[in-house]
Each structure stands twice: as C-alpha cells, then as structure tokens.
Amino acid sequence: MKLNKGFFVIGTDTGIGKTYVSSLLYKGIKDRDGGYYKPVQSGCTRKNGKLVAPDVDFVCSMAEVEYDDKMVTYTLEAEVSPHLASELENTEIDIENIMKDWENLKERYKYMVVEGAGGLYVPLIRDKFYIFDLIKKMELPVILVCSSRVGAINHSMLTIEMLKKLEIEIQGLVFNKVTNDFERDYFEKDNIDIVLKLSGIKNSLIIREGERTIPEKELEKFLGIEVK
C-alpha cells in the first residue's frame, strides 16, 4: 500500500468553505505525490453530455490540474443531500464502489485529501449510512473546517464533541474566511481562542479571506508531513 497519510475534510455547516480549504490542501501536496478524492457529489452540472462535479472542478482549477473523472465516484444532478439525490435519480450509492475507488487511489498516491459532502451527519444512504460511517470505514483522521464568525463556538463544539464520541481522530481545525483585519475584529480571535480552549485541540490553521495558498511550513506542521 502506497498511501502514507490521508485526511478527510468536513465542515461544521453548509457554505463554510470546505471545498476551498480542500483545494488549498491539495494544492500544497499535489507536487509531492498527493491526490484528491470526492466520493459523492450532488448538484452536478452537465457539460458536453456528462455530469461534472462542481467541487472537483473548483479544486482542479485552484490547483491548476486537469479535471479527472477518477476523482469522484458518484455524480448526482439534484442539488440536495446525496441520499435524496440518489433516490430522485434512481441511482444506488454502493459503498463498496467508493471503497474500491479509494483503494485504487491509495495505491497511486502517497498523500490524499478526501472531501466529504457537507457535515458529519449527512446521509449517503437513507437510514443506513452517513458521512461519519464513511470516515470510520476509510480509517482517516478528520480536518474540520470551522468559521470564526457569530455562531462559530456552538457549531464547532457540537461537531468536535460528536467526533470524539464516535472515536474519530481529529487531525486539526481550519478556521476559514477569517477577516484580514484580525486585530480589529477581536471577536473572531476570541471565538477561535475559545474553541481551541474548550476542545483541547492544539493543531489549527487560520485561512484569511482571499488567501490562495497555505505557507509550506504551516502546511507541513498542520498535516504532520513533509511536502517538500
């Protein structure tokens, strides 16, 4: 098995910037034998007669690589939760197909960024299989994308506590879309400080609005790998 280390990226809420963070992580490892994978994508659009996953398309654009169908297993058109989109489109989500693709990617890459579909409790199969089930099956630590705005403490801690309850390893927290005027907007800094103190998590990254790369040393420290 080639894979040295992989990470599963989830968010505390919709629109938190999970795909943006995934793109920066992938951009930082792609030239060091790193790969990206999105198991399931709903809300896909048709281009030249085939469904294209918008998250994968965005990540590839940010990382300046060509779109690759092997980066996603299931593409669904309806812009709803994967379980419902699959029902509406009469497409069965087979977890074994996801795991088969995952095993192939593990043989190909040394490092992997896996992007989930929303948060921890998003269903992939109604009443049967959730994102947290997939994380446990893939045996990956989680990178949790958090906000620093109003509501950040509650949203972050609810997900962190559930991850701990499910005995899922947390690689670290990424506070995304942090204002560039960090010193003036002291409440954002206070929110971050409180989340880190309450959670006891020491490994974290701050990504400010408009940033398009993560500094190499920060990335190495956060992921616990050498990207050079």
- Residue ranges at the known binding site for substrate: 42
Tell me phi and psi for residue 22, to 5 degrees. -60, -40
Residues contributing to the annotated binding site for ATP:
15-20, 55, 115-118, 176-177
Helix 216-223 vs helix 18-29: crossing angle, to nearest 10 = 100
Residues contributing to the annotated binding site:
15-20, 42, 55, 115-118, 176-177
Q: Are the C-beta atoms of 112 and 223 separated by less than 8 Å?
A: no
Residues contributing to the annotated binding site for Mg(2+):
19, 55, 115
Secondary element (H or E) of residue 111: strand 111-115
For residue 177, the 8-state DSSP code is E
Q: Are the C-beta atoms of 65 and 59 separated by less than 8 Å?
A: no
Cβ neighbors of 12 (< 8 A, separation 6 or more) are 119, 144, 145, 146, 147, 152, 155, 156, 158, 159
Q: Tell me the catalytic residues.
A: 38
Return the amino acid letter for 223: L
